[in-house]
Structure 1
Amino acid sequence: MSAYVRTFGEIPGQAEGKTYESREDVRLAKLHAHKQAGISGTAREGADAIVLNGGYPDDRDYGDLIIYTGHGGQDSRKQQIADQTLDDPGNAGLVKSQLDGLPVRVIRGFEEDSPHAPEEGYRYDGLFRVVRHWFKTRPDGFQVCQFLMVKVGTASDVPDPEIPSRPAAGPVLPPQRSIEPTGRTTTTVNRVNRRAEVVKNVKAWHNNRCQICDDTVELPSGSSSDAAHIKALGVPHNGPDVESNVLCLCPNDHRRFDNGAVYLTDDLEVVDALTGAVGKRIRTHPTHKIDVEYVRYHRACWTKIPV
């Protein structure tokens, strides 16, 4: 048996829409490394392919947009008996593909409970990118790692894809008070309509200085910073585009925050997820009121700390 050579992108001779009788046929076509595992990838190289075939009840398949559940924690009966972690090579591979912008081939199988699945066998359905990842605490108390994936080159291939008509499961949280929904612009899909004044206000209040480290990015045009949503916009989180859900961060801390390397306590203290150390409180501004509900939601995506 020849060694599998991990290739990112299309495989010559394997056109999108082509079908295969078995997982072994998929492997022999060099679309996926394994005959059983759902994720083809490693932490060092990244993930080049996944199979969507009914492996986890937490998966959601919307066609050009997929919420894919990672690997691990199941017994032989496919019952969840332990938490999933990023120590799993497949999960770590998908995170690397997200951070490095590597395309992931998606193969759908007949056992997937989805109108987009083939009636029999397996079908190669094109290239997707990993938009973000997070942890979801299931009703049984176990955590699973989830990945938001969108098909490359489709209407869903935007920074914050949404499916407002379809509910999607997320972390278990206390009931939230109602708030004005995020505006939407109707095109071929409903997309989040970011309000420019929200970003402008938050950056101005903090003078483009990071609320965590107090740094800014100096450019010839002046100082610069990122506006980071605490409860992410788009499916499945559907956070609102309001000032109380936005932090002013430097690019480094923005990436750390979005990927769970840091999170906040209810008192807005910064917790280093890698060490568990609790640091100083983020810098605040009297006009910038941060809603603790969004802080709790973000924390629930990365920890089991009670909200």
Structure 2
Amino acid sequence: MADRTYGEIPGYPVGSAFTNRAELAKSGVHRPNQAGICGGKDGAESIVVSGGYPDDEDFGNEIIYTGHGGNDPQAKRQIAHQKLIQGNAGLARNQFEGNPVRVIRGAGGDNDQSPASGFRYDGLFRVVDHWHEIGKDGYRIWRFRLTKIDSNANPSPASRTEPAGRASATIQRIIRSSANARRVKELHDHRCQVCGLRLETPAGPYSEAAHIKPLGRPHDGPDVQGNILCLCPNHHVLLDSGAIYVDDHSVVRSAVDDMKLGELRTAGKHIIDYTFVKYHREHYGISEIEIELHDHGG
């Protein structure tokens, strides 16, 4: 694995401009001369958003970023499916490790967000979600939702070679609270619908409400009981990452080997809407999709 440097690069504050990719690479803000993602399956340091993929969406403080692979750089169109490998796997890893990503915008990107020429470093972003879908050109693409980190809370640079304790962490998931979420947890007596575990704490039982179809853009799932599962923290993470999914027969399966893990536990007054289950399976389930097992990074 290559050494990774997460966070700001000394001497290059937000707004730093670069004439070309060679100058950008020399600075260390984004090291590759061509690739849009600097990273491997262990994590991703930086990305360039420059209009190379037709499915990219740039809203300023929020970016829906298309992973690498399967793209014809001349036509700027997808010609093959993408895989969750190399930099794509790195961005997915960042979501769970909490490592920030440096975002660089190029002149070819969104007119309202990009520089008129060259490249510009636009700060640190957090990967808050990743999923797959069929893109505009008819091929499977991996998508990553990134949100900008408050400049007053920017993590300091962190390298794999630094002593323990110097790397900063960022919050990985917003925990939402709503009447519907509380009701679902109460209906299941705070027992996980996958494993049946009920966590007891001095303050009472603990469980998490997992939205099957995510609430955030671009999924826009509703905050209703039919879109919520009561899960333990472990199975919440596995559901969000696509490591487990629910089939149309209410069987929970592992997405890695399609092994049956058991039937989804039910409660009489909690009716799950399987439209959301199907959506999750089609966008997060990764059975029959190539997952990287061996990669030396880049």
TM range (shorter): 0.7 to 0.9
Aligned mates of 1:304, 1:254 — CA distance in 2: 16
Q: Note if contact 1:39-1:51 (Cα within 8 Å) is conserved in structure 2.
A: yes
Aligned mates of 1:276, 1:304 — CA distance in 2: 9
- RMSD across aligned positions (CA): 2.3
Matched, 1:274 2:240: no
Q: Which amino acid is 2:235 matched to?
A: D
Gapped runs of 5+ residues in structure 1?
162-191
Aligned mates of 2:105, 2:148 — CA distance in 1: 13
Aligned mates of 1:304, 1:255 — CA distance in 2: 15
Return the offset for 1:286. Answer: 1.1
Aligned mates of 1:56, 1:284 — CA distance in 2: 42
Given the alignment, which residue of 2, 13, 16 partners 2:14?
16
* Residue 208 of structure 1: aligned partner: 190
Aligned mates of 1:279, 1:70 — CA distance in 2: 30
Return the offset for 1:141. Answer: 3.7
Given the alignment, which residue of 67, 79, 82 partners 1:81?
79
Aligned mates of 1:96, 1:118 — CA distance in 2: 29
Deviations 1:47-82, CA, capped at 9 Å, x for gaps: 110000111111000000000010112245443232
Q: Which amino acid is 2:133 matched to?
A: K
Q: What's the % identity of the aligned pairs?
A: 46
The count of corresponding residues between Structure 1 and Structure 2 is: 268
Deviations 1:189-221, CA, capped at 9 Å, x for gaps: xxx9x6621111011111111001111222122
* Residue 238 of structure 1: aligned partner: 220
Q: Whose RCO is larger (CA < 8 A, sep 6+)? A: 2
Return the offset for 1:124. Answer: 0.3
Q: SS of the residue aligned with 2:127?
A: strand
Given the alignment, which residue of 50, 55, 60 partners 1:58?
55
Q: Note if contact 1:135-1:145 (Cα within 8 Å) is conserved in structure 2.
A: yes
* Residue 248 of structure 1: aligned partner: 230
Given the alignment, which residue of 88, 108, 113 partners 1:111?
108
Return the offset for 1:6. Answer: 2.8
Deviations 1:98-142, CA, capped at 9 Å, x for gaps: 111001100000011331000000000000000010001225442
Matched, 1:223 2:187: no
Given the alignment, which residue of 27, 37, 53 partners 1:29?
27
Gapped runs of 5+ residues in structure 2?
152-169, 288-298
Q: Note if contact 2:95-2:172 (Cα within 8 Å) is conserved in structure 1.
A: no
* Residue 44 of structure 2: aligned partner: 47
With over 3 angstroms needed to count, the CA separation of the structure-2 counterparts of 1:295 and 1:109, relative to structure 1, is: same
Given the alignment, which residue of 269, 272, 288 partners 1:287?
269
Aligned residue runs from structure 1 range 2-13, under 5 A: 6-13=4-11
Q: Note if contact 1:216-1:224 (Cα within 8 Å) is conserved in structure 2.
A: yes
